[in-house]
Structure 1
């Protein structure tokens, strides 16, 4: 698949089953991530992979992160969240405060790395979806994952084999999102 095809036709695959990407596919996913735009070449990211029994352990961590008065249904849902795919890649932004590169740019670079993983997955026929939600911002979860004070969990990337045919790429009118500055009617 060429680059433009991957960019123009990538869609999320929310229903994923085994098998997960194999070792060669994973190598390409992470090599693509490492090519993300990176002002200052800080590589302000790292990745955790979660699979097998660790998915159940992550679900238990999610359940423990809920408020004490959470409903039994909420606890069950939290436990099941990581089980929606055979492989999760957690994308973590590592902000280097002593850098001349603003923190926001470093987090955006990590987001670009996450997007590169999604594109590389699509190019290889691997299904993927980016999720965040409350468990990406929970101090209990980030502590349980071993994140340091200078790190932020920015994405749970679910990866596997699409359980069904991918939906068609929605049609979007480019002109609704692009304009010229200054606007032609504001010229002096």
Structure 2
């Protein structure tokens, strides 16, 4: 296993993202992916709206064609390198799940619903980590292309991210983290 599961806190402190291009087989089998997705559904969800959808992208050839078609419609002058980058994006890692934010008509503010979608994406990454895999949450051009959510079957949705899951082909690198003193504030200011 990749992770230190000796305690929940050690597990959380060991989580880090992989580079999608460095994720190789094995990835989660269908039963493992279902478990990962079930864990991702247990996020805070004010109003019980489930304002997110998980799109398991199984047919990578079809996804690559869809992605390229949407990309060229948005950027008709795209050159060979851009086309190749879209194709490579679609084919990274053994498993790929699109997380789509789907704000529902409700008294629950849209912002809270969008935050729930972000929490679901993180929970998916954490569950993949707990299952012995690594993951990468990417957006980029693919997430912002007009028509992408509709092409994935979620009209009116917005792509929160593409989550790539697999086994790292190289050791994961730790990245610099913010110092608590830079991001933790106390209210009222100056209190302990």
Q: 1:112 aligns with which of 111, 116, 119?
A: 119
RMSD between superposed Cα atoms in Å: 1.7
Q: Deviations over 1:42-76 (max 9, x none)?
A: 1111111113xx11221121211221111111111
Q: Deviations over 1:130-187 (max 9, x none)?
A: 00112112123223222212x21111000111111112364542122112123239xx
Unaligned runs of 5+ residues in structure 1 are none
Is the contact made by 1:92 and 1:152 (CA closer than 8 Å) also made in structure 2? yes
Q: Does 1:9 align with 2:11?
A: no
Deviation for aligned residue 1:24? 3.4
Q: 1:38 aligns with which of 45, 50, 57?
A: 45
Change (3 A) 1:168 1:184: closer
**2:9 aligns to what SS in structure 1?**
helix
**2:147 aligns to what SS in structure 1?**
helix
In the aligned structure 1, how far is the partner of 2:18 from the partner of 2:126?
Answer: 12
Unaligned runs of 5+ residues in structure 2 are none
In the aligned structure 1, how far is the partner of 2:152 from the partner of 2:177?
Answer: 39
Is the contact made by 1:127 and 1:159 (CA closer than 8 Å) also made in structure 2? yes
Q: 1:152 aligns with which of 155, 158, 171?
A: 158
**1:155 aligns to what SS in structure 2?**
strand
In the aligned structure 1, how far is the partner of 2:178 from the partner of 2:116?
Answer: 25
Give the TM-score taking structure 1 as reference length: 0.89
**1:120 aligns to what SS in structure 2?**
helix
**1:161 aligns to what SS in structure 2?**
strand
In the aligned structure 2, how far is the partner of 1:172 from the partner of 1:140?
Answer: 36
Number of aligned positions between the proteins = 181
Q: 2:174 aligns with which of 157, 168, 182?
A: 168
Taking the TM superposition and a 5 Å limit, the aligned residue runs for 1:112-131 are: 112-131=119-138
Name the structure 1 match of 2:67: 62
Name the structure 2 match of 1:82: 90
Q: Deviations over 1:69-127 (max 9, x none)?
A: 11111111111111111110111112112x11101110110110110010111112101
